[in-house]
Structures are given as structure tokens and as C-alpha cells.
Amino acid sequence: MKLIHVVGARPNFMKAAPVWSAISRMTNFNQILVHTGQHYDRLMSDIFFKELRMPIPDYNLNIGSDSHARQTAAIMVKFEELVNEIEPDLVLVYGDINSTVAAAIVCSKLLIPFAHVEAGLRSFDRRMPEEINRLITDRLADMLFTPSKDGDDNLIKEGTPKSKIHFIGNVMIDTLVRLLPKADKPNEFRNLKQYILVTLHRPSNVDDPKSLQSIITNLQNVSKSIPVIFPVHPRTKKMIADNSLVITENINFRLIDPLGYLDFLGLMKNAMTVITDSGGIQEETTYLGIPCITVRENTERPITISLGTNQLIGKDYYKIPDLVKSAINSPKRSNTIPPLWDGKASERIATVLLQHNNKNN
Ligand code: UD1
């Protein structure tokens, strides 16, 4: 069987790496890796391939940044040519980014079966571009690999046949389980015992200068009592620069470049609290039992609230200092690791693909 994996942006890499590895260990499928180039900076892309021991992509479509329509369309044009040339038996797409939905549409129209890894998640908020990507991708997918049972429930409610849905667990946790022992704080923070870790990049928080300024002002308040480490996403960095936001950098408020996987995981596993608007970090903190304050009005990952350590604060940015205080002062919130977040999700995908291949031969 000839398989294409499509990856494009930072959160795809830690999901595709373990699936690639499980398939190469458990099958003799011919695997081809396509990078759309949606993320292209060394710190947003290359470093992950090295750390996650991913092969160098066989093809890079070098798409880069653009508006949603232009970026998605550019990926579709180039990916269609590639699929016509390679003629794969199956394509694997990951997560909810523009590269995911672009590849999904191309495959559907060329009648190439495709599987969606991380299917069924819903924020029920169509203002989020990722929600649109999830809805379209899942609607078209031939195989849907879900990370949690709420994903199955959402898909069934939308009319997806049960036979297409496979609850296999969380592939991103496979990478975390494998690399946790190797992850450590970067050298410059090695002696720091207590700190808060922050990531922000959602358009709803960072594209409006007033919102971003308010978040930053609240984080600066927090940094008066505990150091704040903030690796800044390129989108956020641009907004800070373009709008000349007021930031007093000091030893307790550290804006740094985006980090590689191992450095970031090292900081996350030792943090007192994480403040984020990312999807994946809500899951990683739940697994690690680290309190997570999510600066969003909703989440497509409700299991991180019902079983994990996550809480949503929406746009109530003023709540950040008090919530940080109570997270630090109260005993560790008990967390349960969600079912099948056990480091073996990718092996389950490989098993399903083997069965699929045997049935078709
Ligand atoms: C994308 C994904 C989002 C994911 C996030 C992780 C979509 C719709 N969004 O959002 O789901 O959580 O990646 O990072 O697919 N830029 C660089 N260098 C890069 C990449 C981006 O400088 O390597 C800058 C560009 O100026 C661009 C901005 O960051 O305008 C945003 O990049 P883009 O890929 O459009 O979306 P993200 O916000 O990164």
C-alpha cells in the first residue's frame, strides 16, 4: 500500500511522527511524507523534524503564509498535481489546520481515500477557522481516528457511519510519552524553580491589539510575584511590533523565541501553571497534571476540563492574576489521564490500516 502523510504546521509534526514510526515498524507500506510549507521558519518547523526523528519530507510544497483562501487554494493546486503523480492508495491528514482541509478536498475530488487523525473534535464555534477545517475534513473523510469518545459522539450526531469511526486515542500523547524522559528546561532557565509558562496565537486573542494589550498587562501583573516565560508565536510577535504594544521586559517577564519540542516540554512539565490558547497544550497539561488556564471561550477538547486540569476564562483576562495565585496556592488539582492516552494510539492506527489493507487485497 502506498501512503501519503500530509503535514503543514507546528502542531501536525508531533502527531504525524509517531504514526509514521508505528507504520514503519508494523507494516511494509510505502510511506511518503509531504510538507505543505504552511509553517516554514526553522523554529516553527525544521527543529521538530530533528527532535521528533521524522524523515526529511519527500516533497515540500513551500506554500508559506497568506490569507486563508489563498493559502488553502495554493496547497490544493500543488497537492493535486502531486497526488496525480504519486497515485497513493491512502492519504493521512492531521489536526485542523488549513493544510488538513486542503488535502482533504483534493483527495475527495480525486476519489483517493483519506484518513483524518484527530477527528470528531468540535468547539461549536464557527468563528474559529480551525472549526471550519474540522467540519469539512470530517465530513469528507473515509476513516476517522478519534482521540476521545466525545469525538465519536459528535461524529455520530452529524450522521457519520459508525463503521468509519475508530477510537484509537491521542497520538500527540504518544510523542509526549516517548520524549518526556529526554525533555528538560533550556539552559537559561535551568535554575528557575517556580514560573508560569505562556503561549498565545489565536486570532481571537492576538489580532485585536486591545485584547492582546490587556492580556499582556495582566501577565505583567502576574510577573510581579512569579516569573513568566512567554515563547512568542510569529503571529503574536508581529501584532506586538505592528501595534507598538506596551511591554516592560524585565528579569521576571521573559519574551523569548518559539521553542523546540524538548525545551518546551521541559518547561511545561516543571511549570506551576500554563496559560495558553493552544489546542494541544490543553491536552499535554492534562496528561502531565499541570494546571492550565485556557484563554478561550470554548474548547474542542472538553475532556481536558471534565477529567483534566483545564479551565476556560474566555475574554475575562482580568481573572488571570487571581487564577494563577489560586493555582499556585491550592494543592495540585487531581487529574485523570483520559482513556487511550497511553502512548499506543499510533500502533492502533497501524493495526486498523493493516486490517483495511488485508480486506482490500
Ligand atoms: C496555524 C493553524 C493553527 C495552529 C497554529 C500553530 C490554521 C488555520 N491555523 O495558525 O490551527 O494552532 O498554526 O502554530 O491552519 N508565520 C511565520 N513563520 C512561520 C509560520 C507563520 O512568521 O513559520 C507568521 C506569518 O506571518 C503568518 C502568521 O505567522 O501571517 C500566522 O501563520 P498561519 O500559518 O497563517 O497561522 P497560525 O496562526 O500559525
C-alpha distances in angstroms, 146 versus 74, 99, 102, 308, 352?
28, 19, 20, 18, 13
279 CA closest ligand 1 atom index: 12
**Ligand 1 within 6 A of 9 CB?**
yes
Strands 196-199 and 165-167: unpaired
pLDDT of residue 32: 98
Q: Which of 30, 10, 40 is nearest to 86 (CA)?
A: 30
Predicted local confidence at residue 331, as pLDDT: 61
CA of 162 to the centre of ligand 1 (A): 33
Nearest atom (ligand 1) to Cα of 278: 12
Ligand 1 centroid, distance to 278 Cα (angstroms): 12
For position 246, what pLDDT does the model report?
87
Q: Is the CB of 62 under 6 A from ligand 1?
A: no
Whether 130 is in the pocket of ligand 1, judged by its Cβ within 6 Å, is yes
Tell me, in angstroms, the distance from the centre of ligand 1 to residue 186's CA.
24
The response to whether residue 235 sits with its C-beta less than 6 Å from ligand 1 reads yes
Best probe residue, ligand 1, of 235, 259, 261 (max atoms within 8 Å of C-beta):
235
Ligand 1 neighbourhood includes 38 CB (under 6 angstroms): yes
Residue type, 140: L
- Say how far apart CA 57 and CA 105 lie, in whole Å: 21
Check if 79 has its Cβ closer than 6 Å to any atom of ligand 1.
Answer: no
CB 75 within 8 A of CB 103: yes
Indicate which residue's Cα is closest to atom 22 of ligand 1.
Answer: 234
Q: Rounded to 5 degrees, what are φ and ψ at 260?
A: -70, 175
**For the purposes of burial, counting CB atoms within 10 Å of the CB of 143, is it exposed (0-12), middle (13-18) or buried (19 or more)?**
buried
Identify the residue whose C-alpha is closest to ligand 1 atom 13: 9
pLDDT at residue number 196: 98
139 conformational bin, left if phi > 0, alpha if psi -120 to 50, beta if neither: alpha
Q: Write out the catalytic residue numbers.
A: 201
Distances (CA, A) of 335 to 77, 133, 256, 308, 310: 45, 30, 30, 5, 10
User: Which residue, by CA, sits nearest to atom 39 of ligand 1?
Assistant: 235
Q: Please list, in sequence order, all residues whose beta carbon lies within 8 angstroms of the beta carbon of residue 65, skipping any fewer than 6 positions away.
A: 38, 71
Ligand 1 close to Cβ of residue 11 (< 6 A): yes
Distance 201 CA to ligand 1 centre (A): 8
Distance 42 CA to ligand 1 centre (A): 13
Other CB atoms within 10 Å distance of the CB of residue 331: 5
Atom of ligand 1 nearest to the CA of 100: 15
Look at residue 329 in the predicted model and tell me its pLDDT: 85
The pTM of the full predicted model, rounded to 2 decimals, is: 0.96
- The pLDDT value recorded for residue 328 is 87
For residue 11, give the ligand 1 atom closest to its CA: 6
pLDDT at 332 (0 to 100): 64
Distance 263 CA to ligand 1 centre (A): 20
> What are the pLDDT tens digits along the chain (361 aa)?
999 999 999 999 999 999 999 999 999 999 999 999 999 999 999 999 999 999 999 999 999 999 999 999 999 999 999 999 999 999 999 999 999 999 999 999 999 999 999 999 999 999 999 999 999 999 999 999 999 999 999 999 999 999 999 999 999 999 999 999 999 999 999 999 999 999 999 999 999 999 999 999 999 999 999 999 999 999 999 999 999 998 987 889 999 999 999 999 999 999 999 999 999 999 999 999 999 999 999 999 999 999 999 999 999 999 999 999 998 887 666 679 999 999 999 999 999 999 999 988 8
Residue-level pLDDT at 250 = 80
